[in-house]
Structure 1
Amino acid sequence: MITVCTSQNVLLGFQLQPATIVINDLTGKIIHIHRQHLPRDQFPSHARYIDAGSNHILPGLVDAHVHLNEPGRTDWEGFLTGTKAAVSGGVTTVVDMPLNSIPPTTTLSHLDVKRSAAQGQCFCDVAFWGGVIPGNQVHLRSLVDAGVKGFKCFLIESGVEEFPCVTENDLHASMSVLEDIPSVLLFHAELEDFEKSQDQSTQTSDPTLYATFLESRPEKLEADAISLITKLQATYPSLRCHIVHLSAASALPIIRAARVRGLKLTVETCFHYLCLQADDIPNGHPEFKCCPPIRKANNRELVWNALRDGTIECVVSDHSPCVQELKKLDDGDIMSAWGGISTLGLGLSLLWTEGLQRGVTIGDISNWTSWKTAEHAGLSDRKGKLEVGYDGDFLIWDPNAEFEVTAESLNFKNKVSPYVNRKLRGKVLKTFVRGFLVFDCVQGFEGIEPVGKLL
């Protein structure tokens, strides 16, 4: 049995062209790509044949920064709802962060608990990051052997007590282990100035003002953290380090200088840092709160420029949901609200809508959200592009369709997002994982079973 999908606009090598993709249903792999639009009668009668017409066929997105939170905080999000939301936006692989689940993915036994919870629930493929916390360096090698794609740590308190931040001494203990292992160390790169934070704690600024929150997480926290990371890299030059969710443009010169020195440093940013700006955020709306914060318009343009020139390699969601009560929507207390933005299902449309204003192509977006993220997560041997031998993960995309985001249309569990009521361009019509339909914009998930694998 084979699945055939054809279109006048298939993204091959980041360029749109007529093509026909053939997938072996037994292996889920692409076995042929014909660089022309082929009609139904060119294939056996038993083949599943899909003609997308002029709609685009794109590689499935690889979202390398997602918090699915199960087990332990499944009321925040879960594998079932999180992966449904993912495939509704053309994401065919997610890489789950080691927090905010309980237990966190910091030991092999904790990874086993998480994988057991995920089994049979996933509509897309799921890989896992491990975590570095104080004292768990003895577990890192076994986690790599079990398949985790790398490790995340915090240089500032994470917000959950079971995942404490690390000190410079903790990092030496972990990096000395990781430098001999094919892995990557991911940093939440904000380094707290404890003396200043204590001074700020005595202030009585209005907690409903977005400016109050923005002032509490200045760009300097990111710049100081990245300076520390690059200093450590000089001692462990073989270990790749990665900055998650970069927001501060003032840190970009440090990153560029590290690259000149030959350090293995990679960087991601998020949809919200490219599509939102502090100038437009209304006071008393904690749904816009994330850490690091969304910054001002001029900062956003510098981040866009860094993405386009390759200083920032990729774009992810950092989907970080919580139950609605923790968002403090009723009293608008931004300072005490949970910091995280829910985006799964919207990222491609957000980036296309914003990118059209800057001359960005769909090939650019696919590079940032599929290929580079697959490389980052160690999945570039099977994910991130349409090529023979790769998994048959793809979506059918109408670049001209327009729609308004509603809370009811969101597929993640807690339907709170700063994008509600936003008008977007570009719509996912269907999503396929290894050739199997996992989402249809008309029928939704009716009659569709989860076929995602744990990678």
Structure 2
Amino acid sequence: MTTLKDTPTTLMFHAEMLPPIADSVGDAVQQSLPPAAPHGELDSYSTFLASRPPVFETCAVEEILSMADLAPQLHLHIVHLSATECIPILRQARKKGINITAETCFHYLGLASDDIEDGDTRHKCCPPIRSQTNQDRLWNEIADAEDGCIKTIVSDHSPCTPELKLLPPRFQTAHQADNRRPSLHQIDSGIDVTLPEEAIQDAKAALEKQGDFFAAWGGISSVGLGLPILHTAAAARLAAGEKAPSIVDIVRMCSQATAKQVGLAHRKGGIRAGMDADICVFDDEDVWTLRAGDMRWKNRCSPWEGHRFRGRVKETWVRGQKVFELGGVNAGFVGGKPVGQAIVERRME
């Protein structure tokens, strides 16, 4: 923080840490298991959730704020905030003039621990997806456009194969099953899978850990789904008489505010003369269900598969050039080659 204190940049934190031990526990603490150790079945989502309680996030936020005076002008930012217990802490800090903001993610606003089946490791991420009550409080915070501490909403896209997710077969689609390594049944059945002994042992070990939330890769695949996720959930909340941001607020938090955060507000995040002509054509009435074939990333493994959405992206334009089209003769990514530009802004020596 002292190194960056006079630079026009943002210092971002993954805010999770083990809470300090408040009471003396004697020398036995040196041999005891850490607070994060699982207590329960490893394929139970409740076991995983209990291993990363909200206090992990609140302790980290408080630790960050305790050092804020080292760099009073530096923008501090909490990435992928999950626990709403952090919100009053951040609000109070902002009232004191500390330049700190937070973001949350599509999966924290659209998925809840109440609905996660045991073994469905597609839902593993850190911090974890928490309860429906926690999710409701997140929505209330982002609906408070003026005073809220959550200023941006992001995907935190972290794709991986079903193999790395240790996903049990019952949660795999046919596409994923075709691309995973041979099963233990195949290995032991006499089928020639031409694998070296080391790969066979790895496959057996992976099969034994299927559904293990502690061994599986952590991360959610959702890039490109932000608008459908948020628009669907917000519309449902408004229909139920609950607080939710408008589509304009959603665009602000997902586009305008993120562009400003990374120093690109002079060319990204808006539609006006002099800006890059980055445009998304969104049909807010299209009702559809996400299938593996609709995922626009390589390894099609996501907890969003099977979810029914209202609203769908029909076209995407980058600097005035169409790069994606849904349906039609030229369906999918169009143009044949990447058109993005590398943005390397030197902010410090």
1:271 matched residue in structure 2: 106
Deviation at 1:221? 0.5
Match of 1:322 among 122, 147, 160: 160
Deviation at 1:200? 4.7
Deviation at 1:361? 2.0
Opposite residue 322 of structure 1, the aligned amino acid is C
Q: Does 1:260 align with 2:86?
A: no
Deviation at 1:448? 3.6
Q: Does 1:183 align with 2:9?
A: yes
Query: Quick check: 1:245–1:269 contact (8 Å CA) kept in 2?
Result: yes
Deviates more, 1:192-201 or 1:362-371: 192-201
Q: Any residues of structure 2 matched to 1:42-61 within 5 Å, and which?
A: none
Match of 2:66 among 231, 236, 240: 231
Taking the aligned partners of 1:394 and 1:376, their CA distance within structure 2 comes to 19
> Deviation string for 1:303-340 (max 9, x for gaps)?
11111112211100000122321101032111111110
**Normalization by structure 1: what TM-score?**
0.60
Q: Tell me the SS of whatever aligns to 1:186.
A: strand
Taking the aligned partners of 1:201 and 1:307, their CA distance within structure 2 comes to 29
1:445 matched residue in structure 2: 333
Taking the aligned partners of 2:36 and 2:229, their CA distance within structure 1 comes to 36
In structure 2, the CA distance between the partners of 1:187 and 1:200, relative to structure 1 (3 Å rule), is: closer
Deviation at 1:347? 1.0
2:312 matched residue in structure 1: 427
> Deviation string for 1:119-151 (max 9, x for gaps)?
xxxxxxxxxxxxxxxxxxxxxxxxxxxxxxxxx
Q: Tell me the SS of whatever aligns to 1:431.
A: strand
Taking the aligned partners of 1:268 and 1:305, their CA distance within structure 2 comes to 14
2:117 matched residue in structure 1: 282
Identify which of structures 1 and 2 has the higher relative contact order when contacts are C-alpha pairs closer than 8 Å and 6+ apart: 1
Q: How many residues align?
A: 281
Q: Does 1:296 align with 2:122?
A: no
Query: Quick check: 1:355–1:361 contact (8 Å CA) kept in 2?
Result: yes
> Deviation string for 1:253-287 (max 9, x for gaps)?
11011001100001100000100111011111000
Q: Tell me the SS of whatever aligns to 1:372.
A: helix
Q: Any residues of structure 2 matched to 1:301-450 within 5 Å, and which?
A: 301-309=136-144, 310-330=148-168, 331-359=210-238, 360-442=245-327, 443-450=331-338
Q: Any residues of structure 2 matched to 1:204-219 within 5 Å, and which?
A: 205-219=40-54
Q: Kindly indicate which of the two structures has a greater share of residues assigned to strand.
A: 1
Query: Quick check: 1:439–1:448 contact (8 Å CA) kept in 2?
Result: no
Query: Quick check: 2:287–2:311 contact (8 Å CA) kept in 1?
Result: yes
Q: Tell me the SS of whatever aligns to 1:176.
A: coil
**Normalization by structure 2: what TM-score?**
0.77
1:127 matched residue in structure 2: none
Taking the aligned partners of 1:235 and 1:447, their CA distance within structure 2 comes to 49
2:25 matched residue in structure 1: none
Deviation at 1:387? 1.1
2:201 matched residue in structure 1: none
Q: Any residues of structure 2 matched to 1:70-89 within 5 Å, and which?
A: none
In structure 2, the CA distance between the partners of 1:177 and 1:354, relative to structure 1 (3 Å rule), is: same
Query: Quick check: 1:284–1:333 contact (8 Å CA) kept in 2?
Result: yes
In structure 2, the CA distance between the partners of 1:201 and 1:376, relative to structure 1 (3 Å rule), is: closer
Opposite residue 319 of structure 1, the aligned amino acid is H
Taking the aligned partners of 1:201 and 1:264, their CA distance within structure 2 comes to 31
Query: Quick check: 1:437–1:448 contact (8 Å CA) kept in 2?
Result: no
Deviation at 1:193? 3.7
2:180 matched residue in structure 1: none
Taking the aligned partners of 1:222 and 1:315, their CA distance within structure 2 comes to 18
> Deviation string for 1:44-93 (max 9, x for gaps)?
xxxxxxxxxxxxxxxxxxxxxxxxxxxxxxxxxxxxxxxxxxxxxxxxxx
Taking the aligned partners of 1:201 and 1:393, their CA distance within structure 2 comes to 44
Query: Quick check: 2:5–2:71 contact (8 Å CA) kept in 1?
Result: yes
Superposition CA RMSD, Å: 1.6
Opposite residue 227 of structure 1, the aligned amino acid is E
1:139 matched residue in structure 2: none
Q: Tell me the SS of whatever aligns to 1:429.
A: strand
